[in-house]
Amino acid sequence: MSEESEREMNPAAVAPPCPTVTQRDQWTVESQVFQIYQLFATIPPNAQTLMLELQRDNHIEFLTKGLRHLSSAFSVLDSNRPWLCYWIFHSIALLGETVDDELEVNAIDFLNRCQMPHIATTYAAVNTLITLGGQKSLASINRDKLYGFLRRMKQPNGGFRMHDDGEIDVRACYTAISVASVLNILDDELIQNVGDYILSCQTYEGGIAGEPGSEAHGGYTFCGLAAMILIDEVNRLDLPRLVDWVVFRQGRECGFQGRTNKLVDGCYSFWQGGAVALLQRLYSIINKQMDETSQIFTISDVSEEKGSLDGTSSHATCHGRHEGNSESCSADFKNIGYNFINESRAQEPLFHPIALQQYILLCSQEQEGGMRDKPGKRRDHYHTCYCLSGLSVCQYSWSKHPDSPPLPKLVLGPYSNLLEPIHPLFNVVLDRYREAHEFFTES
């Protein structure tokens, strides 16, 4: 994702038609990355450990500087500020640090004055308030008003508009559903037809696009998959095809690209790495879909004509919540997010977490603090947030329980690199999520 589109994050634009990445662009990036890896391979082990060290103090300094700058202008209600708050506070929380009380109080006050005119901004504000945690922060969220806003943004085709007259896309679906789920206001009205809309965005490649007919992209794939899980309709997606698409987005550079034939970028460590972490907990559904597909292939040898007449296809059909009559669809959404992290998952990660940690630490990390898209690009808060989130996903990707500490060999570099675990559906630090879950279940 280029710097320009990151600035466009809110109001977030739909991925533009894929501009051509030339073979030369690809070689330039590959040679920069491989030079770093070659240098790394030739230096002594103690120097290697230093190179792989997460520069915690420098990251904190970069983040607090950004926060001070931001808080000096908290009176300005600019729509990107809640995003900056989220990227910075979430990064600080991932690093296991806190900020001083005054900054926290100012941030809570500021976020409450952002009157939720935009769903993605609302998501950033809510995730920040959850990250700050505590009674004052959580109680400051006006759930009734927010529910009314989400209902107003809801469209008959199942999607959500980002804001009045704004775009309808998969990001708006995810941010609406994520906020409603974590605040415990998700209901049948909000969910209605969301699954149909997201399903219509899964492309022939297997990934998910921003809108029907567009190109599959990592950012939207994470959003679509997470939203489908939260509304309990994930089994309607073609999951084997989705796995196939996403795992092949991790390339020779060891990091992920956002879409086919595009360049590696550190922020996809979370969008794609996070999607794989979600898929790792959907193992039994994926296996079931694969079994069904192989049965269809076997049967189709003898009943090809019948299949083409009655519309049977190998594409995943609905099961579970979406099957049967609508009464059985009145699911209890309250605990989907909570239960999800406790689901057993595939023993082995479906991507290469050590290789991804290598890309993040050696190619995205700036030694002076902050993270970037790729070597040669500038650090920024967006990449710092999503590179750290992706790093956390990698470190815990073998853990049986969501927050059981990983074995030292699974954390690349010194063990002090270990970050806090996140809840992969919401991208907030796990213990903050648990506090919010309890708070909004009881209140």
Ligand X SMILES: CC(C)=CCC/C(C)=C/CC/C(C)=C/COP(=O)(O)OP(=O)(O)O
Catalytic residue ranges: 217, 259, 262, 265, 267-268, 373, 380, 383
Q: Exposure string (b/e) for 5-20, b if CB count within 10 Å is 16 or more?
A: ebeebbebebbeeeee
Select the binding partner of residue 264 from Zn ion, ligand X, none (C-beta < 5 to 8 A, by kind). none
Residue 101 Cβ, how far from ligand X at the closest point, in Å? 29
User: Closest residue (Cβ) to Zn ion?
Assistant: 267
The token pair that represents 340 in the structure block: 């999800």
Binding segment toward Zn ion, per CB under 5 A, in 94-102, 195-203, 262-270, 304-312: 262-270
CB contact at 8 A, 383 and 264: no
Q: In Å, what is the CA distance from 314 to each residue of 15, 198, 216?
A: 29, 18, 20
Contact residue for ligand X among 52, 67, 126, 223 (CB under 6 A):
223
Cα(421)–Cα(127) distance, rounded to whole angstroms?
Answer: 15
Q: At what angle do helices 143-153 and 170-182 cross, to 10 degrees?
A: 150
Cα(131)–Cα(433) distance, rounded to whole angstroms?
Answer: 8
Select the binding partner of residue 373 from ligand X, Zn ion, none (C-beta < 5 to 8 A, by kind). Zn ion
User: Which helix (H) or strand (E) element contains residue 364?
Assistant: none
| Closer of 55 and 272 to Zn ion (Cβ) | 272
Residue 333 Cβ, how far from ligand X at the closest point, in Å? 19
Residue 260 Cβ, how far from ligand X at the closest point, in Å? 10
Rounded to whole angstroms, the maximal C-alpha distance in the chain is 72
Cβ-Cβ contacts under 8 Å for 313 (sequence gap 6 or more) = 296, 307
Contact residue for Zn ion among 253, 265, 366, 435 (CB under 5 A):
265
Query: What single DSSP character describes residue 54?
Result: -
User: Does 28 interact with ligand X (rule: CB under 6 A)?
Assistant: no
* 119 to 148: interface string for ligand X, x by CB under 6 A: -x----------------------------
Q: Which amino acid is at 200?
A: S
Binding segment toward ligand X, per CB under 6 A, in 55-63, 87-95, 155-163, 168-176: 168-176
User: Does 175 interact with ligand X (rule: CB under 6 A)?
Assistant: yes
User: Does 5 interact with ligand X (rule: CB under 6 A)?
Assistant: yes
User: Does 267 interact with Zn ion (rule: CB under 5 A)?
Assistant: yes
Query: What single DSSP character describes residue 14?
Result: P
User: Does 321 interact with ligand X (rule: CB under 6 A)?
Assistant: no
User: Does 383 interact with ligand X (rule: CB under 6 A)?
Assistant: no
The phi, psi pair for 135, rounded to 5°, reads -55, -50
Select the binding partner of residue 439 from Zn ion, ligand X, none (C-beta < 5 to 8 A, by kind). none
Which of 362, 403, 379 has its CA nearest to residue 96? 403
Q: Which residues bind ligand X (CB under 6 A)?
A: 1-2, 5, 12-13, 15-16, 120, 171, 174-175, 217, 219-220, 223, 258-259, 262, 265, 271
Q: Which residues bind Zn ion (CB under 5 A)?
A: 1, 265, 267, 373
